[in-house]
Amino acid sequence: MTETIIKIDLNTSAYENENIHNRWHPDIPMACMVKPGDDFKIECFDWTGGQIKNDDDASDVRDVDLSQVHFLSGPVGVEGAEPGDLLVVDILDIGAFDDCEWGFNGFFSKQNGGGFLTDHFPEAQKSIWDFNGMFTKSRHVPGVEFAGLIHPGLIGCLPSKELLAEWNQRETTLFNTEPERVPPLATLPYGDTAHMGKMVGDEAKAAAAEAARTVPPREHGGNCDIKDLSRGSKIFFPVYVEGGGLSVGDLHFSQGDGEITFCGAIEMAGWIHLRVNLIKGGMEKYAIKNPIFKPSPITPKYDDYLIFEGISVDEQGSQHYLDVHIAYRQACLNAIEYLKNFGYSGAQAYAILGTAPVQGHISGVVDIPNACATLWLPTDIFDFDVNPGADGPTEFLDGSIQVPLAPDKE
């Protein structure tokens, strides 16, 4: 039987578990050690450590303490791993706990987190998604059901001292260009809510003051939120410290490319089954700076899409030069406007784009002045025909059965 090397109790605080941490620092002690070739299971809190509840009130999303995230399980040390090696990680399987077969998706308030479309959806809202085996649907978003492309949003190795210093230097420089911005340009170190795993006392306090937040993806991987890094994937991570120090968390039952809703994909607590191996000196051998990975042999099969185009002209009609961020935003907004014709609210359509196996593509970045991005919406996830036709769209939802996304209540 595969050993579960990190266990959690969803009824206790993540802060009480010494095998959990929520910052990146080279001195965080290993939670446990494994050998190359070993496979093992790790249990994970949801990324907020249980702050979001399975109910119809989004006040918890509005009031979430984002300085606490992400709660990661680890670090797992691998015997013989040294800086410059590649840690090869096979994701053998991922699942929800038997007594916790649900997840959440939400939009943060613009005042507390924001998100990709925060100017269009500035209030906190959420939807709850129930799992039925490999499928999911939501009482807040009728008319859709899909197979989950389950994956860890966040996985990576501990940084070296030098790499951590580089992260802090460059992110502080960016932050300081507009320090009052809401939401902020970057999340800088913040000691008060740091959980440094097995490290305690003054040592932990000092390390927490410089430890990196877990929000952005970086050279080590981290919070990449790549939906295709699913069970069956093989990932090659750069190693920066003795033992590697692999940590994982932020499990997603499903997500659309871009994780545009930010809170987030379909977020869940659960377990992940991994196997580790080493390629000695692999970073230099293969000139690897950021992780590389192989996709899963098994993915949900959605072959038919409605594809929405977007260009780098913003909502006010201003022209931007080859700006892929703006082009993808326009493609997403175009898809949301389209889906509203079928009876969805804008918020429900936004939630679909954040949760379903939607593909995002950078289609063109050379045709000055417009970048072109495309949003691929799978048509088979809908209970009705979402394609355009001569008769025009039929509202499949009448007002009586339409359930709004949960708003925040005072």
Q: Name the residues that contact Zn ion, by CB under 5 A.
A: 47, 153, 250, 264
Q: Which is nearer to Zn ion, 223 or 312 (CB)?
A: 223
Q: Encode burial over 137-171: b for 16+ CB neighbours within 10 A, e otherwise.
A: bbebbbbbbbbbbbbbbbbbbbbbeebbeebbeeb
Q: Which is nearer to Zn ion, 267 or 323 (CB)?
A: 267
Smallest distance, Å, CB 222 to Zn ion? Answer: 12
Q: Which is nearer to Zn ion, 153 or 310 (CB)?
A: 153
Smallest distance, Å, CB 295 to Zn ion? Answer: 19
Smallest distance, Å, CB 317 to Zn ion? Answer: 34
Smallest distance, Å, CB 252 to Zn ion? Answer: 5
3-state helix/strand/coil string of the chain: CCCEEECCCCCCCHHHCCCEECCECCCCCCCEEECCCCEEEEEECCCCCCCCCCCCCCHHHHCCCHHHCCCEEEEEEECCCCCCCEEEEEEEEEECCCCCCEEEEEECCCCCCCCCCCCCCCCCEEEEEEEECCEEEECCEEEEEEECCCEEEEEEECCCHHHHHHHHHHHHHHHCCCCCCCCCCCCCCCCCCCCECCCCHHHHHHHHHHCECCCCEECCEECCCCCCCCCCCEEEEECCCCCEEEEEEEEECCCCCCCCCEEEEEECCEEEEEEEEEECCHHHHCCCCCCEEECCCCCCCCCCEEEEEEECECCCCCECCCCHHHHHHHHHHHHHHHHHCCCCCHHHHHHHHHHCCCEEEEEECCCCCCCEEEEEEEHHHECCCCCCCCCCCCCCCCCCCCCCCEECCC
Smallest distance, Å, CB 353 to Zn ion? Answer: 15
Q: Which is nearer to Zn ion, 143 or 256 (CB)?
A: 256
Q: Which is nearer to Zn ion, 85 or 250 (CB)?
A: 250
Smallest distance, Å, CB 284 to Zn ion? Answer: 32
Q: Which is nearer to Zn ion, 193 or 277 (CB)?
A: 193
Where residue 58 falls (left for φ over 0; alpha for ψ -120 to 50; beta otherwise) is alpha
Smallest distance, Å, CB 262 to Zn ion? Answer: 9
Counting Cα atoms < 13 Å in the Cβ hemisphere of 385 gives 8
Smallest distance, Å, CB 264 to Zn ion? Answer: 4
Q: Which is nearer to Zn ion, 47 or 129 (CB)?
A: 47
Smallest distance, Å, CB 154 to Zn ion? Answer: 7
Q: Which is nearer to Zn ion, 85 or 259 (CB)?
A: 259
Integer CA distances (angstroms), 397 to 67, 122, 383, 392, in order:
39, 25, 11, 15
Q: Which is nearer to Zn ion, 62 or 227 (CB)?
A: 227
Smallest distance, Å, CB 267 to Zn ion? Answer: 5
Q: Which is nearer to Zn ion, 153 or 189 (CB)?
A: 153
